[in-house]
Amino acid sequence: MREFLFIGLVIISAIILYLLIRNERDENNAITRRGYYKVLIFIISSIVIGFFAGLLFV
């Protein structure tokens, strides 16, 4: 059961990352610096939220 929950969380986070950087492209179709910052902030906030959620459930 936990494996399915983990797979679901990975799929949802991948969709959120795609939606964040979907419009962050320049004229050469490369991801801009703002897109990279959005992804970095999302990853860091996910780690922090996961850490505090883990503290709550332990």
Sorting pLDDT into bands at 50, 70 and 90, what band is 27? Answer: confident
What would you measure as the largest C-alpha separation in the chain, in angstroms?
48
Check if the beta carbon of residue 35 is closer than 8 Å to that of residue 57: no
Name the amino acid, one letter, at 43. Answer: I
Domain ranges of the chain: 2-57
Judge if pTM exceeds 0.75.
Answer: no
Structure-block tokens of residue 13 = 């986070």
Check if the beta carbon of residue 20 is closer than 8 Å to that of residue 41: no
- Residue in 10, 5, 15, 7 with CA at minimum distance from that of residue 57: 5
- Residue in 13, 7, 20 with CA at minimum distance from that of residue 46: 13
Instruction: Read off the pLDDT of residues 4-18 as tens digits, 9 standing for 90 and up.
Output: 877 888 888 889 888
pLDDT of residue 47: 87
